Structure formats: structure tokens, C-alpha cells
Structure 1
């Protein structure tokens, strides 16, 4: 089972993890990302092209399912304007074994940071704005999974 959602509203990470656990197996791994503060950040605005984004997320999930034996994958990514501390992303995997679940979840997050077509704009407390550029460390993490 693969579940992909791109949405403006919040999600209940606990319910999503519970749904994956119900698929069986012995391991559920997850990552919940939040809009981090600091640097006088007020909000983060995420834009995307819906058809392109959902297709890219599905491709990431399908690749994870090819690499690891999984019972399920959930990827939820929010878009729109999000305040500091709000949830932005959930990546969760379910497998019979801990290592597969953890590695697949980590792989998904590394790919989301570089491959998924989201454009992020930081909005600062003083009203200034800037688009977030790709970081080399994110690119390196994503390419480290290449066969």
C-alpha cells in the first residue's frame, strides 16, 4: 500500500502511523518534519505544480518499494503558507524488519529534499522574503543512495 497526499491542511501523524502498523510487519519508521524557527523566520511558503508533484512523490515511493521489502509507505507533504513549528512533511514506512523500514524512510526523505518539485520561500518577521536554494549536503545525501 502506498499513500501519497499533497495538501494545505494539517495531518495527524499518529493516525497515519497507526494505519501503517495495521498492515502487519514488525517495524514502522517515520519522520515528521516541522517548519524550523530561528533567523527571525515567520513562515515558510511552499509552492508546487500539482500533477508534477504527485507523480514525483509516487516515483520516490515506488523506488523505495523496489529497494526494500515494505508493507506500506505514506508520504504526506503540505503546501501553502506554514508557520514556524507547524508540520510540513511525514514520511513513514512499514516492514517486517527495522533496518528496511528505517533505510526506506531515510531514502524517501533524502529524495524529497532534492527530487520533489517544491519551491520554498522564507518569510521573515521584518517582511523580507527569499527563495530557498538547494543545499549541496542534501544533494550528496540523495545521490548516496544511487546503485
Structure 2
């Protein structure tokens, strides 16, 4: 099972992990990424090109599944206006082998940060903005 998606709304990490538990594979590894607070950043706008981003997330998940022998993957990335402290992404993997679940989860989160096509605009307290 692969569930790789992009969404505006928040997600419940516990519910997502429960979905992987129901597969009965044994080991589940996950990483929830929370938007860090910066001293002068009020909010962050996450933007993306939907078709490209969906394809990249699907490709990352498929590669993880094959490379690590995973039986379940949930990969979620949010878009839209977020505040420091909001959840921005979730990478979770399940396998009968605990090391494979951990390594797969690490691969998912690292690949999400390095290759997924998302753009970030930091909106500062004074109203100015910077794209990163």
C-alpha cells in the first residue's frame, strides 16, 4: 500500500500510523516534520506545481518500496499558508524488518526534502516576504 499525497489540510499522525498497523507488517517507522519557528517569520506559504509534485512523491514512494521491501508507505506533504508549529509533512513506512522500516522512512523524509518540488515564501512580522 502506497499513499503519497499533497493536501492543504492538516493530518493526524496517529490515524495515519494506525492505517499502517492494520497492514500487520510488524515494524513501523515514522517522521512528522513540523514547521520550525524563526525569530521574525509570522507564516509560511508553501506552493507547488500539483501534477509534478504528485508524480515526484509517487516516484519517491515507489523507489522506497522497492529498495527497502516495504509493505506500506504513507507520504504526505502540505501546501498553503502554515504557521510555525504546524505539521508540514509525514513520512511513514512499515515492514516485517524493523531496519528496513527505519531505513525506508529515512529515505522518504530525506528525498522529500531534497527532490520534492515545493517552494516556500517566508512572510515576516513586518509584512515583507522572502522566497526560499
- Say yes or no: TM over 0.5: yes
SS at match of 1:17: helix
For the pair 1:65 / 2:54, whether they are aligned, the reply is no
Alignment-derived partner of residue 129 in structure 1: 129
Question: Hey, what's the Cα distance between the residues in 2 that align with 1:85 and 1:99?
Answer: 29
Alignment-derived partner of residue 96 in structure 1: 96
What is the CA RMSD across the aligned residues, in angstroms? 0.9
SS at match of 1:39: coil
Alignment-derived partner of residue 29 in structure 1: 29
Unpaired segments of 5 or more residues in structure 1?
Answer: 133-147
Alignment-derived partner of residue 13 in structure 1: 13
Contact 1:74 / 1:91 at 8 angstroms: preserved in 2?
Answer: yes
SS at match of 1:9: coil
Question: Hey, what's the Cα distance between the residues in 2 that align with 1:107 and 1:27?
Answer: 16
Question: Hey, what's the Cα distance between the residues in 2 that align with 1:26 and 1:32?
Answer: 20
Unpaired segments of 5 or more residues in structure 2?
Answer: none
**Equivalent residues in 2 for 1:130-145 (5 A)?**
130-132=130-132
SS at match of 1:92: strand
- Give the alignment's TM-score, normalised by structure 1: 0.87
Structure 1 residue 69: deviation in Å?
1.3
Alignment-derived partner of residue 40 in structure 1: 40
Question: Hey, what's the Cα distance between the residues in 2 that align with 1:73 and 1:88?
Answer: 17
Structure 1 residue 39: deviation in Å?
2.2
- Give the alignment's TM-score, normalised by structure 2: 0.96
Aligned length: 132
Question: Hey, what's the Cα distance between the residues in 1 that align with 2:105 and 2:123?
Answer: 29
Structure 1 residue 21: deviation in Å?
1.1
Deviation string for 1:24-55 (max 9, x for gaps)?
12110001011110222111111001111100
Contact 1:24 / 1:71 at 8 angstroms: preserved in 2?
Answer: no
